[in-house]
């Protein structure tokens, strides 16, 4: 009986240790790896296609089932995607009508561009309350995190 308890404690300690080594964003978020991927109504290649998602589109993982992930987008819509078609490349979606891209992380920095609602941005880095992003045009800047959804 004592050996079983020790074995259980070891497994729990190992699991906690591995979880601690995995970045928080990698535990809950994925992005689309392919050029476009179908989000389906259920975990089956024959299931109805709900949406077609573009490369980089960020999704929150709700559930894992075999080779499938149940995911949720920024509008709380849910569906299923094949796990192998996702990546750990951080991205954000603009949720505001317009988001200013700034030279640095703060309102005191100059505006260097603007991103539109629903625009997909590649995440380059983060600072408290600010996200360093890159637009598909190559333009980079810092955006207030409360104007975005994603990693």
Q: How many residues does the chain have?
A: 151
Domains and CATH numbers, the chain: 2-87 (2.30.30.40), 91-150 (2.30.30.40)
Q: Is 79 exposed, middle or buried (0-12, 13-18, 19+ CB in 10 A)?
A: buried
* Residue with the larger pLDDT of the pair 115 and 17: 115
Q: Tens of pLDDT along 68-77?
A: 999 999 999 9
Gap between the Cα atoms of 98 and 112, Å rounded = 13
* pLDDT average, residue stretch 79-100: 96
Evaluate the CA torsion angle 92, 93, 96, 99 in order and state its sign. positive
The mean pLDDT value for 11-22 works out to: 43
pTM of the model: 0.76
Q: Between 131 and 26, name the one with better pLDDT.
A: 131
Average pLDDT, the chain: 87
């Amino acid at each position: 009986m004592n050996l079983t308890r020790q074995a259980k404690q070891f497994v729990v300690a190992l699991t906690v240790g591995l979880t601690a080594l995995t970045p928080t964003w990698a535990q809950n978020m994925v992005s689309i790896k392919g050029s476009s991927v179908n989000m389906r109504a259920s975990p089956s290649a024959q299931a109805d296609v709900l949406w077609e998602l573009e490369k980089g589109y960020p999704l929150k993982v709700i559930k894992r089932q075999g080779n499938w992930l149940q995911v949720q987008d920024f509008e709380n819509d849910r569906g299923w995607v094949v796990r192998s078609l996702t990546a750990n490349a951080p991205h954000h979606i603009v949720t505001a009508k317009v988001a200013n891209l700034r030279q640095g992380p703060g309102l005191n920095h100059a505006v260097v561009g603007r991103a539109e609602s629903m625009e997909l941005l590649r995440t380059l880095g983060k600072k408290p309350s600010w996200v360093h992003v890159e637009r598909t045009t190559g333009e980079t800047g810092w955006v207030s995190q409360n104007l975005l959804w994603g990693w």
